[in-house]
Amino acid sequence: MKTIIQNGTIVTVADIYKGDLLIENGVITAIADRIIPEKDVHVIDASGQYLFPGGIDVHTHLAWPFQSTGTADDFVSGTRAAAAGGITSIINFTNPKKGQTLLDNLQEWKKKGELSLIDYGFHSIISEYNDHVLQELPILAEQEGVTSIKLFMAYKGELMVNDREMFKIMKKAGEVGIITNVHAENGDIIDELVEDSLSNGNTDPIFHAYTRPPITESEATGRALSIAEAANASIYIVHVSCADALEKVEQAKRRGVQAFAETCPHYLVLDESYLELPDFEGGKYVCSPPLREKWNQDLLWKGISSGLISTVGSDHCPFLFEGQKTVGRNNFTMIPNGVPGLEDIFPIVYHYGVHEGRISLQKFVEIISTGPAKLFGLYPKKGSIGIGFDADIVIFNPNVSRVISREKQYQNVDYNLYEGRVVQGAITRVLSRGEEIVRDGYVIGEQGRGQYLFRKKNSNIETRVTC
């Protein structure tokens, strides 16, 4: 099967140029000013449109059991939403049961992933330390292509590990060539602040933010980075929400730590005031770390521009407002932590980043596709448009605008964080390994066509900061 995409403007980290692409058996095999179609070749005209490499979202929680409930998107609805939003690969978190080995748990998650419409991989969460875990890390990496793990410094009793456990796990991960994702918040201080808040009768959603102040994130971020340094391991701080935490990443990078940071669209665009919306609407915006004061947003965008932040991940952890979020109407600690965003990450970062002049088109491609591909062992199969890459391509019309609304979304949630916002540009088609999975903005790809991503270990990653 051959496809030619004609007349598009190809955007990569290195270049922006007009050209035609030839796709054969799912892979890009030629790029030229003009490729003349032979008979029986499928031709797509992309005149006036950008061709971006497919988005890679390395932070999703599809089908994820959490805080006595479960996320509202499974691999069926979640990967349809991803496709509609220009995401062609995800790396989802596992969530091991107590006493279960990482390898057994992974097999369960791979089974769930078989429903996927786009390509999918996993980061293994380690929430329980034992010697077994250390023995499993090389097997995970070499036999299963799981070259990243995740540790939590918060959610005590459910996911949190302590410093000694973190050190032992990261030391082994460093030896094996596995990168460690870290949720950096000081769980003990938060638990104490939460107890105080509730005993003073402060139960509204805004107290979620007040009991997780920036210091709880920046302290844990600094500590995690020091543990990685001591363990000689590479570390990826997920969902950096504030300037103080980012400063810790900058200091670590300058010391030569193999440290990387991710932020999320909601921290770039939304702020703490959303938690104060009346009629418990604030509950929709409860996630951890919490939304911050608005001034942090500028510093996060600057961090993206300078290279301090390597990726934007959605942290898609969706819960229904009615019936899931509302459980915490009288007590913010009962509101499941997490927000939807997988379908919106690409358009939101394009609009507020590129369209509003905060980042270049090339930086957009870097943080949405090339950066995550390189960090998580998918490059040079995924993450760019070039000969030999999988033909994961987003065709994007920058000359139209559209309104984001829950009514038009594929995400299986009853609200959208960005309801009513007008964003510039629209995804017209998405190709995954050369197959059209979105046409005219509608998902046409079939469930189960996604392939498991067996990932390489990460090596020689650029840690340079230009600020």
Which residues contact Zn ion (rule: CB under 5 A)?
183, 315
Crossing angle between the packed helical segments 163-176 and 131-144, to the nearest 10 degrees: 30
Q: Whose structure tokens read 């996604």?
A: 450
Closer to ligand URP at the Cβ: 109 or 364?
109
Shortest spacing between CB 425 and Zn ion, in angstroms: 26
Closer to ligand URP at the Cβ: 10 or 159?
159
Shortest spacing between CB 427 and ligand URP, in angstroms: 25
SS (H, E, C) the chain: CEEEEEEEEEECCCCEEEEEEEEECCEEEEEECCCCCCCCCEEEECCCCEEEECEEEEEECCCCEECCEECCCCHHHHHHHHHHCCEEEEEEECCCCCCCCHHHHHHHHHHHHCCCCCEEEEEEECCCCCHHHHHHHHHHHHHHCCCEEEEECCCCCCCECCHHHHHHHHHHHHHHCCEEEEECCCHHHHHHHHHHHHHCCCCCCHHHHHCCCHHHHHHHHHHHHHHHHHHCCCEEECCCCCHHHHHHHHHHHHHCCCEEEEECHHHHHCCHHHHHCCCCHHHHHCCCCCCCCCHHHHHHHHHHHHCCCCEECCCECCCCCCCCHHHHCCCHHHCCCCECCCCCHHHHHHHHHHHCCCCCHHHHHHHHHHHHHHHCCCCCCCCCCCCCCECCEEEEEEEEEEECCHHHCCCCCCCCCCCCCEEEEEEEEEEECCEEEEECCEECCCCCCCCECCCCCCCCCCCCCCC
Closer to ligand URP at the Cβ: 191 or 229?
191
Shortest spacing between CB 353 and Zn ion, in angstroms: 21
Closer to ligand URP at the Cβ: 20 or 315?
315
Shortest spacing between CB 158 and ligand URP, in angstroms: 10
Decide: 125 and 150 in contact? Cβ < 8 Å: yes
Closer to Zn ion at the Cβ: 136 or 262?
262
Shortest spacing between CB 338 and ligand URP, in angstroms: 3
User: CA nearest 457: which of 60, 103, 119, 176?
Assistant: 176
Shortest spacing between CB 62 and ligand URP, in angstroms: 12
Shortest spacing between CB 32 and ligand URP, in angstroms: 43
Closer to ligand URP at the Cβ: 303 or 338?
338
Shortest spacing between CB 94 and Zn ion, in angstroms: 12
Decide: 104 and 350 in contact? Cβ < 8 Å: no
Q: Which residue is nearest to Zn ion (CB)?
A: 183
337 binds, among ligand URP, Zn ion, none (CB under 5 to 8 A by kind): ligand URP
**Which residues bind to ligand URP, rule: CB under 6 A?**
61, 183, 239, 287-288, 315, 317, 337-338
Closer to Zn ion at the Cβ: 89 or 397?
89
Both tokens of residue 143? 């036999």
Query: CB atoms < 10 A from the CB of 298, how many?
Result: 12
Closer to Zn ion at the Cβ: 151 or 391?
151
Closer to Zn ion at the Cβ: 11 or 317?
317
Closer to Zn ion at the Cβ: 169 or 385?
169
287 binds, among Zn ion, ligand URP, none (CB under 5 to 8 A by kind): ligand URP
